[in-house]
């Protein structure tokens, strides 16, 4: 793999797919040995930059979760507001338990 990374722009289509698959699904220790150990971190970054659909950015991963969090906060705010706007206050349910 380190040989493919060294030659990166000048590799065949099948070899590019091998590199993408290796960088995407390879064992972390092997990835570290091949990229950091051989000084090929810039080349690995170039492969990731050239194939962005295989390596999603942090925003593509975090944005749906931020949306879910926002909806949950809106729901909690709605429930909180509804509790204080009732005629007997937010504690009405606790008082009726007696």
pLDDT for residue 71: 95
Distance CA 66, CA 32 (A): 31
pLDDT for residue 59: 77
pLDDT for residue 93: 56
pLDDT for residue 31: 87
pLDDT for residue 69: 96
Q: List the chain residues with pLDDT less than 70.
A: 83-98
Distances (CA, A) of 12 to 1, 47, 54, 78: 14, 13, 18, 57
pLDDT for residue 73: 95
CB 49 within 8 A of CB 38: no
Distance CA 41, CA 35 (A): 5
CB 24 within 8 A of CB 54: yes
Q: How many CB atoms lie within 10 A of CB 54?
A: 13
């Amino acid at each position: 793999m380190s040989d493919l990374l060294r030659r990166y722009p000048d590799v065949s289509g099948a070899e590019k797919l091998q590199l993408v698959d290796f960088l995407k699904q390879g064992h972390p220790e092997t990835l570290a040995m091949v990229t950091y150990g051989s000084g090929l971190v810039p080349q690995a970054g170039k492969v990731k930059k050239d194939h962005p659909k295989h390596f999603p950015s942090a925003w593509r991963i975090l944005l749906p979760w931020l949306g879910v969090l926002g909806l949950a906060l809106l729901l909690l705010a709605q429930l909180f507001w509804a509790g204080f706007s009732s005629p007997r206050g937010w504690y009405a349910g606790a008082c009726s338990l007696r």
